[in-house]
């Protein structure tokens, strides 16, 4: 598989979510992601609900020592809050997306080359986990553009 799939632009519809938004250092992020996914998974099970897609992490800034991250699951409908688990949504809009294996840089270059500009929070959807070598991590990145 190539490192980056075809880069595409599409119109995304609003997607209900549940998530935990917090701040963390980049080195603490993997443990925090796992803990948050487990907590929200247990909550969904209690409600008898299933996620409507794979989990994501939204990056609201890129300060590696004070990341503002939203760790969540897309869900089929708005669900009630519980503790630090909050309902929300991924906004409707035009996005650029691709699948990549390992580290990525190609999408950012493609956005600039095609005259687009990032216009909001980037979402990463993780298809495998920390047990895989970094070079084999499979992730879809979705970035709003204008």
Assigned fold of 8-144: Multidrug-efflux Transporter 1 Regulator Bmrr; Chain A (3.20.80)
146 residues of the chain, pLDDT tens digit each: 446 678 889 999 999 999 999 999 999 998 999 999 999 999 999 999 999 999 999 999 888 899 999 999 999 999 999 999 999 999 999 999 888 876 566 787 888 899 999 888 989 898 887 777 777 878 888 989 99
Strand-pairing partners, residue 11, are: 94
- In eight-state DSSP terms, residue 14 is P
Residue 1: its pLDDT value, please?
44
Specify the long-range contacts of residues 108-117, CB closer than 8 Å, at least 24 apart.
110/7, 111/143, 111/145, 116/9, 116/145, 116/146, 117/145, 117/146
Question: Could you give phi then psi for residue 12, rounded to 5 degrees?
Answer: -100, 140
* Domains of the chain, residue spans: 8-144
Question: Could you give phi then psi for residue 33, rounded to 5 degrees?
Answer: -60, -50
- In eight-state DSSP terms, residue 116 is -
Residue 40: its pLDDT value, please?
98
Residue 65: its pLDDT value, please?
93
């Amino acid at each position: 598989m190539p490192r980056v799939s075809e880069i595409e632009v599409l119109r995304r519809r609003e997607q209900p979510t549940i998530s935990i938004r917090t701040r963390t250092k980049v080195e603490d992020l993997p443990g925090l992601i796992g803990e948050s996914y487990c907590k929200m998974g247990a909550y969904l099970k209690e409600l008898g609900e299933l996620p409507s897609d794979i989990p994501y992490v939204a990056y609201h800034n890129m300060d590696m020592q004070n990341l503002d991250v939203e760790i969540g699951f897309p869900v089929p409908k708005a669900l009630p809050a519980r503790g630090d688990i909050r309902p929300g949504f991924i906004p409707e809009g035009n996005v650029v997306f691709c699948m990549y294996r390992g580290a990525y840089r190609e999408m950012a270059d493609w956005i600039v080359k095609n005259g687009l500009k990032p216009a909001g929070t980037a979402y990463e959807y993780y298809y495998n986990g920390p047990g895989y070598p970094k070079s084999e991590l499979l992730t879809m990145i979705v970035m709003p553009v204008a």
